[in-house]
C-alpha cells in the first residue's frame, strides 16, 4: 500500500553508474548518460570513490565496538528502569530519570539497525524489499535522533529541577510543572521538531533491463538539503539539542557544586564550634571539650567529606561526559557533506562521533552505581544478590542509625542550611535517595 503512496524516483543514469548497463531500464538514457551525470548523480558521484581503509574502519567500529556499547547500554538502562521504579524512587526527579533512561534505551535499540546498515549496506544500501529501504531512507535517523533529543531534554529539565532544589529551595516545586505533563509535551515537541529530517534522504529504484526485478538504493536528497529552510533548520537543531543543553547543564552543575561546597564549609564550622560551646556552657574542662570535638569529627566529618567528594565526582563526570560525547556529533552535523565522504579522516571522525554519542547514553547506570550508595543498595535489594545482600543491608542499617530516621545525608544537609523552608530535596546529588544524572 505504501508503495502506491510513495513515488520512488527512477534514475537510470545513477543506476548505470553504480552497476552498469545490466541494471538500467532505458538504453536511450544510457547512451546519453554522460550528459545527465551532473544533474542526476548530483553529489552522490563522489561517494563511490571510497578510501580502501574505510571498509576496515567500518568493520571495527560498527561490527565490534558498536555491539559492545549497545549491549552495555541496553543492560544498563534496563537496570536503571528497574531500580527507578522501586517504591523508594518516587520523587519528581525520578520521573525525569525514568523518561531519560527510556529515551536512551530506545535510541540504543534504534542504533542497532543503523550499525547493521553501515556494516552490510554501507551508506548507499541495496535492498530488494521496499520496507527496509524506506525505513533506512526516512525513519532510521529520525527515530534515533528523536530519542536522543528527548534524552537531552529530560537531562536538561532534571538539571534545572536539581539546581532549583539546591540553590533556590524556596521556589515552588516542581518548577517546570507536573512532571508527567512536562515529559509528554517534551516528547511530543521533540518528535515534531525532528519531522523535517525525514525528507533528508530519498530512494532510487534500479530496474533490471531484462526482467521486472529491481533494487532500491538510498541517497541524500541534496536538492532538499541545499534549501535555505533546511540549512537554517539544521543549525537550529544543533543549537537547541546540543549547544544550549551543554552550556546550561555544565553551568548549572558548576553552580550546584559551588553552593554545596559553601554549605559544607558552614556545616563544618558549626560542627567545630558546637562541642566547644557545649563545654563552656556546662563548665567542662578544656581537655574534655577537646576530646569531645575529636570524637564528634571522627564520627561525622569523614562521611561528610566523602559525600561532598561523591557529589562533585557525580556532577563533574556527567557534565564532562556530556560535553565530550555530544560535541563531536554537533560538529559532524554541521560539516557533513558529500564532498568529504571519501576522506578517511572524516570517516574516522564520523564513526567516533557516532560511538561517543551512544557511550553518553550507555554509561548512566554505571555512573549511578559508582557514585550513589543508595542506588547500589536499591539495585541489590531488587535483584537480591545473596552474596551482597547481607553486607549492603547491614551498611544501610548502619547509615540509618547514624543519619536518623531518614537515612539521607542530603536531608540532614538541607535541615542545617535551609531548615526554614520545610521541604525535602529529592534532586540534589545522587547520594542517599537523591540520585541524579
Residue reference for cell 525505513: 135
| 25 DSSP assignment | S
Do the Cβ atoms of 76 and 362 come closer than 8 Å? yes
State whether residue 101 is helix, strand or coil.
Answer: helix
Query: CA 310 from chain center: how many Å?
Result: 21
What are the φ/ψ torsions at residue 127 (nearest 5 degrees)?
-125, 140
Average confidence (pLDDT) per 10 residues, the chain, 437 residues = 58 61 43 40 50 88 94 94 84 88 95 90 80 90 94 92 83 80 95 94 77 78 90 93 91 87 78 60 50 47 64 79 88 75 86 93 88 82 65 51 39 39 38 35
pLDDT at 181: 93
pLDDT at 37: 39
Whether the full predicted model's pTM is greater than 0.85, yes or no, is: no
Count the Cβ atoms, other than its own, within 10 Å of residue 231.
Answer: 11
pLDDT at 49: 65
What are the φ/ψ torsions at residue 87 (nearest 5 degrees)?
-65, -25
Sign of CA dihedral 46, 52, 57, 60: positive
pLDDT at 25: 41
| 229 DSSP assignment | H
Please tell me whether the peptide bond between 174 and the residue prior to it is cis, using omega within 30 degrees of 0.
Answer: yes
Q: Look at residues 72, 60, 63, 150 and name the one whose alpha carbon lies nearest to residue 107.
A: 150
pLDDT at 77: 94
Domains of the chain, start order: 2-20+49-272+309-381 (1.20.1070.10)
Do the Cβ atoms of 416 and 397 come closer than 8 Å? no
Q: Look at residues 311, 320, 326, 350 and name the one whose alpha carbon lies nearest to residue 151.
A: 326
pLDDT at 109: 96
**What is the spatial distance between Cα 92 and Cα 203, in angstroms, rounded to a whole number?**
44
**What is the spatial distance between Cα 333 and Cα 329, in angstroms, rounded to a whole number?**
6
**H or E stretch covering 162:** helix 140-167
Amino acid at each position: 500500500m505504501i508503495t502506491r503512496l510513495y513515488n520512488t524516483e527512477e534514475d537510470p543514469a545513477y543506476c548505470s553508474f553504480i552497476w552498469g548497463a545490466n541494471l538500467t531500464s532505458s538504453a536511450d538514457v544510457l547512451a546519453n548518460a554522460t550528459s545527465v551525470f551532473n544533474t542526476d548523480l548530483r553529489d552522490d558521484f563522489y561517494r563511490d570513490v571510497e578510501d580502501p581503509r574505510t571498509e576496515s574502519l567500518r568493520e571495527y567500529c560498527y561490527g565490534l565496538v558498536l555491539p559492545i556499547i549497545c549491549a552495555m547500554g541496553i543492560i544498563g538502562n534496563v537496570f536503571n528502569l528497574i531500580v527507578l521504579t522501586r517504591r523508594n524512587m518516587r520523587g519528581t526527579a525520578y520521573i525525569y530519570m525514568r523518561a531519560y533512561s527510556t529515551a536512551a534505551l530506545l535510541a540504543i535499540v534504534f542504533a542497532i539497525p543503523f550499525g547493521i546498515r553501515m556494516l552490510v549496506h554501507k551508506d548507499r544500501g541495496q535492498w530488494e524489499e521496499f520496507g527496509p529501504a524506506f525505513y533506512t531512507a526516512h525513519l532510521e535517523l529520525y527515530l534515533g535522533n528523536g530519542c536522543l533529543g528527548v534524552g537531552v531534554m529530560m537531562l536538561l529539565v532534571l538539571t534545572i529541577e536539581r539546581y532549583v532544589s539546591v540553590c533556590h529551595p524556596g521556589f515552588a516545586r516542581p518548577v517546570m510543572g507536573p512532571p508527567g505533563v512536562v515529559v509528554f509535551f517534551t516528547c511530543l515537541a521533540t518528535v515534531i521538531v525532528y519531522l523535517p529530517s525525514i525528507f533528508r534522504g530519498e530512494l532510487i529504484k534500479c530496474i533490471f533491463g531484462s526482467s521486472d526485478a529491481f533494487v532500491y538504493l538510498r541517497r541524500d536528497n541534496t536538492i532538499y538539503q541545499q534549501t535555505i529552510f533546511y540549512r537554517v533548520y539544521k543549525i537550529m537543531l544543533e543549537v537547541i539539542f546540543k549547544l544550549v543543553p551543554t552550556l546550561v547543564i555544565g553551568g548549572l552543575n558548576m553552580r550546584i557544586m559551588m553552593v554545596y561546597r559553601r554549605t559544607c564549609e558552614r556545616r563544618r564550622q558549626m560542627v567545630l564550634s558546637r562541642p566547644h560551646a557545649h563545654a563552656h556552657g556546662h563548665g567542662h574542662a578544656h581537655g574534655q571539650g577537646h576530646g569531645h570535638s575529636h570524637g564528634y569529627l571522627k564520627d561525622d566529618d569523614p562521611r561528610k567529606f566523602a559525600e561532598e567528594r561523591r557529589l562533585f565526582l557525580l556532577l563533574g563526570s556527567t557534565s564532562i561526559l556530556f560535553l565530550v560525547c555530544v560535541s563531536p556529533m554537533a560538529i559532524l552535523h554541521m560539516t557533513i557533506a558529500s564532498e568529504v565522504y571519501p576522506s578517511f579522516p572524516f570517516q574516522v571522525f564520523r564513526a567516533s562521533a557516532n560511538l561517543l554519542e551512544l557511550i553518553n547514553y550507555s554509561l548512566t547506570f554505571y555512573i549511578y552505581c559508582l557514585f550513589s550508595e543508595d542506588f547500589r543498595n536499591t539495585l541489590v535489594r531488587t535483584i537480591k544478590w545473596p552474596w551482597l545482600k547481607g553486607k549492603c543491608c547491614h551498611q544501610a542499617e548502619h547509615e540509618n542509625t547514624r543519619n536518623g530516621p531518614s537515612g539521607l545525608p542530603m536531608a540532614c544537609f538541607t535541615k542545617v542550611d535551609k531548615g526554614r523552608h520545610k521541604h525535602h530535596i529529592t534532586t540534589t546529588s545522587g547520594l542517599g535517595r537523591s540520585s541524579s544524572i
